Structure 1
């Protein structure tokens, strides 16, 4: 059995690569999908497809349409979602993706440091599992196959 895992969360750090490498080292049968990790392409995809937009607001609206399309398709095809809340960046997209996973009935592993416990307490209670590190998320994922 292979699983498709959607990795939701900020695209500025290497947490996804950490999860990919650890999963590969364990020989887990997992394929990963997620948001566009090229930040410039993510911000510019609307203009790439539709052409130049008249203002920054329209540029963001165009890009968000295609980013939401990508997220919806890949999240719906995923068997499980891992959503990481880091300490450095604003996490609105992560909250949106985690909530969408819950609404779609997708199993959710929420990764958040202890210091974000209070801010994420309701979301954490809706997740199937809450952990504090990407390493713990990989161990939870591995447990599915044991």
Structure 2
């Protein structure tokens, strides 16, 4: 019998990170520098062969428009086809609430619960990191992408 797990995807920048969680605790971290459109099917096929995936989670933005779109379409399709719940949270959960690059000197920032853009002269260093323990309260069943396109237009 396969181990029941939850899978978290953060594909907003390179490397793509996939966390496999058992009872909310990270048990395996997978990183890839490949394009998400090329590597996600392979990685998820391997996961479904090794585990019983009971829940899907992902970072739904802000960040790369294309990365968000690919992640959402891929995971939403899996969710429907395999009848697995899909949850989402904003990317700030995975980067300790640091500014996220938008375009040029514009960065997405989260102030209270509102995501805005802010011009920053110095680009802060930022990386996404999967937590050791998932906080389910940070995720929503509203899994649609948060493109925040207006800020980059």
TM-score range, shorter chain: 0.3 to 0.5
Relative to its length, the structure with more helix (as a share) is 1
Larger relative contact order (C-alpha < 8 A, sep ≥ 6)? 1
